[in-house]
């Protein structure tokens, strides 16, 4: 089993370009697995972890409800945002500057073949990272992602998640609000959940800006520990 993960930080990159790149890496892993099975070989399959920041964009998961986007095409343009219906799970979400987006493209045969466990580990990575900033983040029953003040009228989401998996290969991932412009969430019903707020790490800490490179280091530390992986 190959537990080495190739880490790539793509910086600020268009959503569609990044999606296409994810698909390319994803297909490469799947093709390797098919080839191994057909030829009865046992070559290592690759794993990747992409960090990226997107220009303003709204994405709708395959089971999502289009009515959760509260903007028309003209209004989207005025806000400098784009929209894509994509092949991950989950409903609608927003990506934009000030948000750390992570796309682990893993062959789970190298780790464990359990999608539920995979999602819980991603959530745990976020929870442990936020704990280092003095925040008590939690899961909310029946709602994927990471929240604050769960079970109170002040519940608010700080990290959204949506993944796709085929042949135990993953793509898409998580979006953690670090220095995000929360006004863009007003244009959607985030994740299709009404009546719950969205927040960002800088807001919770009461500061103008949080060092995103520091947050990434903490995320990778916890990911590495949870998945017993190595980054290269």
DSSP string of 126-173?
HHHHHHTTT--EEEETTEEEEEESTTSTT-EEEEEEEEEEETTEEEEE
pLDDT over 90, % of the chain: 76
CATH number of the domain that 104 lies in? 3.30.930.10
Structure-model confidence comparison of residues 34 and 193, the more confident one: 34
Q: What is the mean pLDDT of residues 110-132?
A: 97
197 assigned ligand-binding residue: no
Q: What is the mean pLDDT of residues 187-200?
A: 72
Are β-strands 92-95 and 82-85 bridged in parallel, bridged antiparallel, or unpaired?
Answer: unpaired
Alpha helices in the chain (DSSP H): 15-39, 73-78, 115-131, 201-205, 212-227
Q: How many domains does the chain have?
A: 1
pLDDT for position 178: 98
The SS3 of residue 73 is helix
pLDDT for residue 103 is more than 90:
yes
160 assigned ligand-binding residue: yes
Q: What is the mean pLDDT of residues 6-35?
A: 97
174 assigned ligand-binding residue: yes
pLDDT for residue 117 is more than 60:
yes
pLDDT for residue 191 is more than 60:
no
* Distance, CA of 199 to CA of 145 (rounded, Å): 13
Q: What is the mean pLDDT of residues 14-19?
A: 95
Which is nearest to 66 in space by CA: 217, 221, 192? 192
92 assigned ligand-binding residue: yes
Q: Per residue in 67-79, pLDDT tens?
A: 888 888 788 888 8
Cβ atoms within 10 Å, residue 33: 17
pLDDT for position 193: 54
Q: What is the mean pLDDT of residues 103-130?
A: 97
Q: CB–CB of 14/54 below 8 Å?
A: yes
Range of the domain at 63: 4-231
Residue matched to tokens 């934009």? 96
162 assigned ligand-binding residue: yes
Q: Is 221 exposed, middle or buried (0-12, 13-18, 19+ CB in 10 A)?
A: middle
- Mean residue pLDDT across the chain: 93
**162 bridge partner residues:** 173
pLDDT over 70, % of the chain: 97
Query: Given pLDDT bands bounded at 50, 70 and 90, which one contains residue 220?
Result: very high
Sign of CA dihedral 196, 202, 205, 208: negative
Residues annotated as catalytic (active site), given as ranges: 191
Q: What is the mean pLDDT of residues 25-37?
A: 96
Which is nearest to 98 in space by CA: 217, 212, 219, 187? 212
């Amino acid at each position: 089993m190959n537990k080495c993960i190739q880490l790539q930080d793509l910086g600020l990159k268009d959503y569609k370009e990044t999606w296409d790149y994810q698909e390319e890496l994803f297909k490469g892993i799947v093709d390797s697995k098919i080839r191994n099975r057909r030829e009865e070989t046992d070559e290592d399959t690759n794993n990747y972890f992409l960090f990226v920041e997107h220009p303003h964009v709204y994405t709708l998961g395959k089971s999502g409800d289009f009515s959760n986007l509260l903007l028309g095409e003209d209004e989207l343009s005025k806000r400098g945002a784009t929209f894509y219906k994509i092949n991950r799970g989950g409903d609608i979400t927003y990506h934009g500057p000030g948000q750390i987006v992570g796309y682990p493209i893993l062959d789970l045969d190298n780790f464990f073949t359990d999608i539920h466990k995979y999602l819980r580990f991603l959530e745990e990575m976020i929870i442990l990272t936020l704990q280092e900033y003095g925040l008590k983040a939690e899961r909310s029953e029946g709602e994927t992602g990471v929240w604050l003040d769960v079970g109170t009228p002040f519940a608010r989401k700080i990290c959204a998640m949506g993944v796709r998996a085929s042949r135990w290969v993953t793509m898409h991932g998580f979006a953690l609000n670090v220095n995000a412009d929360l006004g863009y969430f007003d244009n959607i019903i985030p994740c299709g959940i009404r009546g719950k707020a969205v927040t960002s790490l800088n807001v919770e800490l009461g500061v103008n800006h949080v060092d995103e490179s520091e947050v990434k280091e903490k995320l990778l530390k916890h990911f590495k520990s949870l998945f017993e992986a190595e980054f290269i």
